Structure 1
């Protein structure tokens, strides 16, 4: 997914431009740090105190130049208007967050307001159109059958969460003034890989296959996750 995000940024901004990036629900800060290392000015917003502590420790171990380019704010994604002015960012990331939000519309509207004109909104969501794939591949036919008519599922952490359908999100993005410009599938073939599984010897080929499938119909439509990119009008 990092390659997809970099592609969208490169296609929208001049090479070398230092962008203002907001990472909402940054978790342990992996993506935020990667972008700060690339020269961008990054703000990470996270409400989980444990994740904030992990991110701050990771940032403290970076060179001074990177530490100056990144700041961490403890807070909820719904409260971006409290922390930041409208139009303050060129890129807003919201990766792996919407599945924990009952009604994502208000959250997404707030994130769109944070974008400068032409700014990029990057979403990573669970694919509600393919919830039957994982239990089906595991041979859990009862769960697979039940997954066709719901947006609810239980994630690998054992939490009951929700998925989003691309058609609905496309309508939402248009309504909030950041219409969909591109979308990709993520984890087309690797969704059943165990957490912490060893990196295979042919990892580069595997990544190439996933990258190709994530851009190609019909494969991307059955990916476990969707990466959607909207642009502020």
Structure 2
């Protein structure tokens, strides 16, 4: 894979590094399985293309589906600036009409930060599954229940933490003014995938410590950011830490026909 076209800031790298490494590995596995160096990738809810451009820079063809015309305009501009415009197309739509606007048969379907906002996450996961080719891989990133509870508790917002903790199903956030309608535990996320006909292959925790460590601490110590990044990567696959991650990242396969 090619390096990222534009260098992200250190905190962005810290919070996205685990996900990108997982996706690189997934794409390498799919390349090996298909014998094709160029994969077809669908980014559902891909916005202005921060992830899509990075994938396209690795030589793959990416379709971005997003409901916002402004985001798709920004996608086209970003793709042109990074020299990958010929490998990216943007279409307006959402998970409700994913197949109608983007088709199916994709090697990889990405859905990051979407299922927590849709009215019916199960239907969204089914759309992801139907868009995959046999043997294709889904990469789904969602807001984690445990991380939200922990962050509120550490911030002294005990009532809010308790309200979230008592709501163990992906229903609207019981905290008044809560910005995320759905939060997921690992069993809920893998259950959605299995019900949609996918086979979960890995779940990782994302942003386990990054949102809890004071930024001043990281900025003041030359080696702190690197060590914190290493800690995030090593803890990502550990069940105890996945349970309290801000986000959960699922890799799931569409069984080969």
User: What SS does structure 2 have at the residue aligned with 1:78?
Assistant: helix
User: What SS does structure 1 have at the residue aligned with 2:160?
Assistant: helix
User: Offset of 1:158 from its aligned partner?
Assistant: 6.4
Residue aligning to 1:187: 207
Residue aligning to 2:82: 62
After TM superposition, the structure 1 = structure 2 runs for residues 206-221 of structure 1, keeping only pairs within 5 Å, are: 206-221=228-243
Counting strand residues as a fraction of each chain, which structure ranks higher?
1
Residue aligning to 1:79: 97
Residue aligning to 2:246: 224
Q: Which of 101, 105, 110 lines up with 1:93 in the alignment?
A: 110
User: What SS does structure 2 have at the residue aligned with 1:43?
Assistant: strand
| 2:116–2:182 contact (8 Å) kept in structure 1 | yes
CA 122–102 in structure 1, closer or farther in 2 if over 3 Å, else same: same
CA 199–74 in structure 1, closer or farther in 2 if over 3 Å, else same: farther
CA RMSD of aligned residues (A): 2.5
After TM superposition, the structure 1 = structure 2 runs for residues 162-201 of structure 1, keeping only pairs within 5 Å, are: 162-192=182-212, 200=219, 201=222
Q: Distance in 2 between matches of 1:180 and 1:160?
A: 24
After alignment, is 207-216 or 52-61 more displaced?
Answer: 52-61
**How many residues are matched?**
228
User: Offset of 1:29 from its aligned partner?
Assistant: 0.7
Post-superposition Cα deviations, 1:9-32, rounded to whole Å, max 9, x if no partner, equal 223432872110000000221100
CA 153–199 in structure 1, closer or farther in 2 if over 3 Å, else same: farther
What TM-score do the two structures reach when normalised by structure 2? 0.81
User: Offset of 1:168 from its aligned partner?
Assistant: 2.2
After alignment, is 3-12 or 92-101 more displaced?
Answer: 3-12
After TM superposition, the structure 1 = structure 2 runs for residues 114-193 of structure 1, keeping only pairs within 5 Å, are: 114-150=131-167, 151=170, 152-153=172-173, 159-192=179-212
